[in-house]
Amino acid sequence: MSLSMYQASVPVFLRQLTNLKAILEKGAADAEARKIEPSVFINARLAPDMFALARQVQIATDTVKGAGARLAGIEVPSYADTETTFPELQARLDKTIDFLKGLKPEQIDGSEERGITLKMRSGDVNFTGQSYLLHFALPNFFFHYMAVYAILRHNGVAVGKMDYLGGV
């Protein structure tokens, strides 16, 4: 049995977004328990030239909603990127999860050869659906998801590998 484009995308994104929600919940609880202003975590970064936690969440959600929409051949939803609190980031994750849950396998399956063009600062980048999913969307999503995990872990939040992976 072959793996469909839907199976390789939406369920993977949904699982990890759910894990990301739990990781952010641990971050918020840790800030409260240790009497740390939550904005310290929200604005934390791993290196001076990296984005802060809030922007990492925004990019992770932008990546998956964009992937789902592009593979389905529909318009990508636009979000304002104004989140500055844990509850606002959770709401963004919920909105993204709801969007992905609304996508049907028949919208995405068969998109392997669909042309996808991304407008990048350096110019247009053209993909087939399969190469976009496997070589851009999935790695980009996991990069930013891991950055959120690493920022919280670096700041002393008790998250571990199983929080990142979720229940197996």
Give percent of the chain with pLDDT exceeding 90: 95
| pLDDT for the residue 167 | 72
Confidence check: pLDDT of 168 > 80: no
Q: What is the pLDDT of residue 1?
A: 61
> Domain 5-165 carries which CATH code?
1.20.120.450
pLDDT, residue 16, reads 97
Residues 134-165 have pLDDT tens digits of 999 999 999 999 999 999 999 999 999 999 99
Q: Of 14, 8, 6, give the one whose Cα is nearest residue 100.
A: 14
Write down the H helix ranges in the chain. Answer: 5-33, 38-42, 53-72, 86-101, 105-108, 129-132, 138-154, 161-165
Tell me how far CA of residue 135 lies from CA of 17, 72, 132, 152, in angstroms. 19, 18, 6, 27
Burial track 88-120 (b if 16+ CB lie within 10 A, e otherwise): ebbebbeebbebbeebeeebbeebbebebeeee
Its pTM stands at 0.95
Any idea what DSSP says for residue 46? Answer: S
Distance of CA 84 to the CA centre of its chain: 16
Q: What is the pLDDT of residues 3-45, one digit of tens each?
A: 899 999 999 999 999 999 999 999 999 999 999 999 999 999 9
* Segments making up each domain of the chain, as ranges: 5-165
